[in-house]
Amino acid sequence: MDYGLTETQRMIRQTIREYLTRVIEPLVPDMEAGKLLPYGPTREMMGVLGLIDSNGELATLIAESPPEEQLKRFVPRVLGVEMGRVCGGMSLAYGTTTALAAPAIRRKGSLDQKKRWADPLSRLEKIGSWCLTEPQAGSAALRDMKTLAIHHNGHYVLNGSKTFITNAPFADIFVVYAKLRQNGAESVEAFIVERQDSGISTGPPMKKMGFRSSPTGEVFLDDCRIPEDRILTSEYRDRDHVRKSLAGERVGLQTVSYGLMERAFEIALKYARDRKQGGRPIGDYQLIQRRLARMYAALVNSRSFVFGDVIGKSILAATPGNASLGKLYVAEMASYVTTEAIHILGGNGYMEEYIVERLARDAKLIELGGGTTEIQETTIGRWLVQEYEL
């Protein structure tokens, strides 16, 4: 589908889509079954597509018009969409390393920390994990956080556990959030923990409903001792660092949601044209047409959130409130569209062969991850009451 893209943008999208379809899609069954980890194929993809430049930053593929800054925003969006179409789990494994763990270090770390840890994550030389959620502190991650850090004899000592952590079973570098008690005060800080540090361990990959290509697990910190230079507190003290990371995650999840629903819609539309009942394509029946019409409306409306600011037609400002708004709407529409696709395909929609059952299973997670639907509603409501300008 063409949604007002320039020739350069269309070329980039087509290049990424052709590669994912030709090289990655045949690997998806093995990744979904846990026989193949997503990291090798993802590294190969980044190298073949030229997604990383010499500085470890996301490259633009084609350094021509539209303006470079706009293109830098477009490439990760379209990459998320295209990976969502082919393998949503792969997109989570990739995004957690390059769009959560690495940016968290870049946002709050020193120059040395960025060079030592963020750069290898951006280049996927190392696998990253972003550790916020805890067993008893899901939606209230900051308020009810139990993981504690204390400063002791030139080290920080961390104790606690994290759960539902993407890449945890295989990560090399962990960005861990903990409550630091120091000098009579308490604050939530981020720490860099490496796999080989004493006191850190991880559980096996969890068995999940969807996104099975993305390893998810627990992280355990038992008197985990790390050097003083592992705390992410540069001279720039950003008290909203967790909020900004979550906003970035929510924008990224929109792209994956859109990819899921776009693929499901295309499969359903083709099926409605090809499948015959009573001597006619089922797409000739009004009930099927009504389903397709509403699916298409959801798809078109979702584009303004996913691509609006990279095709010059955005009506939304880049705020945490709008990040939550986009995540809320696109995630819900992805669940709706993928479920409708199953209905249109009927019994075939329930079979793995036609893919839509996997797309529906994947879509459901995005209503939960990165903040549940209820958390998005609360965030949007608070933003409207306190900050929105009439």
Give the catalytic positions in this structure. Answer: 249
- SS3 at position 69: helix
Closest Cα partner for 366 from 316, 332, 342?
332
> 373: exposed, middle or buried (C-beta count within 10 Å: 0-12, 13-18, 19+)?
middle
Using CA atoms, how far apart are residues 326 and 65, in angstroms rounded to an integer?
A: 27
- Helical ranges in the chain per DSSP H: 7-19, 28-32, 39-49, 68-86, 88-95, 102-108, 111-113, 119-122, 241-274, 286-306, 320-345, 356-366, 373-386
Amino acid identity at 381: G
Radius of gyration of the chain (CA): 21
Residue with the two structure tokens 């900050």: 387
Closest Cα partner for 370 from 336, 337, 326, 307?
326
